A and B are shown apart, each in its own frame.
Chain A
Amino acid sequence: MPEEYRFHLAIGSRFENIELVQVVLRDCLERLGMEADARHWVDLAVREALANAIKHGNAQNPSKQVHVDLAVEGEELVIRVEDEGAGFDPSQVPDPLAPRRRLLPNGRGILFMEKFMDEIQYGAGPGGGTIVTLRKRLTGAKADASQA
């Protein structure tokens, strides 16, 4: 696997640090040759994973870190986002598209990740935090999120 397409970042749990990851991610996706629309949706999915890790995982505690790993595995882009929180059960997250929840101001982050990536997995990190793994096929990457 080309090493130039791999990176690891550790950021403090502040929302402004999401922009730092986005700069590195955008550069990597461009070098991978991903077209602009697909880059936009991957960028947004990773933004949601980071926001969840900072807000829900690490409770915005700046002394806790969020780790981001990007790699190309076979024909897939794989991005792992790990927090240092207490863990997370995705089955407990209510459906934001349920009619009675549609006008709530929050709860759509997981929906975004699921729509913009090909596969999302949740796991537990060695310290008990959450690892979210986002996968995107590099061949024929979805450009139109509305068709996701």
Chain B
Amino acid sequence: MDVSKRQVGDVTILDLKGKITIGSGDVQLRNAVQEVMNSGATKVLINMHNVSTIDSSGIGELVSAYTTATNRGAKLKLINLPAKVTDILTITQLITVFDVYDSEDEGVRSFA
């Protein structure tokens, strides 16, 4: 999986691309979120648009990212969920835990 970071105003956006699966993408996601948190970011969007596959380990990393951010007083939200990721968040009953937005604009504006 590839992770790239960019800034829109005071909102940090992580663009994920590829698989978030055990042994590869999950570790990259963990490291990227840790780096963002360590930089002091408090408004974070994870852009899932180009995520092709997420397994239970990847879901676990998303949950860890959410709890890490919350425990530090930051907000971490998801944008542009592919249908299959939405299905998985529904199955795991996490769809109501995360703040989810259909577009980057909506996600950025949600922090206002």
Contact = CB atoms under 8 A, between A and B. Distances in A.
Whether chain B is bound by chain A comes out as yes
Measured as residues with beta carbon below 8 angstroms from the partner, the interface class of chain A is: 20 to 34
A111 B88 CA distance: 10
B23 A15 contact: yes
Given A105-B60, A144-B87, A112 B23 contact: no
Interface in A100-140: 102-106, 108-109, 111-112, 115
Nearest to A47: B55
Contacts of B66: 103
A67 B59 CA distance: 26
A30 to B, nearest CB: 16
Contacts of B34: none
Interface in A80-116: 96-97, 102-106, 108-109, 111-112, 115
A47 B21 contact: yes
Contact of B91 (A15, A37, A55, A146): A146
B110 interface: no
A75 B5 CA distance: 47
Nearest to A102: B93
A29 interface: no
A90 to B, nearest CB: 15
Nearest to B92: A108
Interface of A: 14-16, 18, 37, 40, 43-44, 47-48, 51, 55, 96-97, 102-106, 108-109, 111-112, 115, 144-146, 148
Interface of B: 21-24, 53, 55-57, 59-61, 63-64, 66-67, 84, 86-88, 90-94, 97
8 contacts: A15-B24, A44-B53, A47-B22, A48-B56, A102-B93, A102-B94, A112-B56, A146-B90
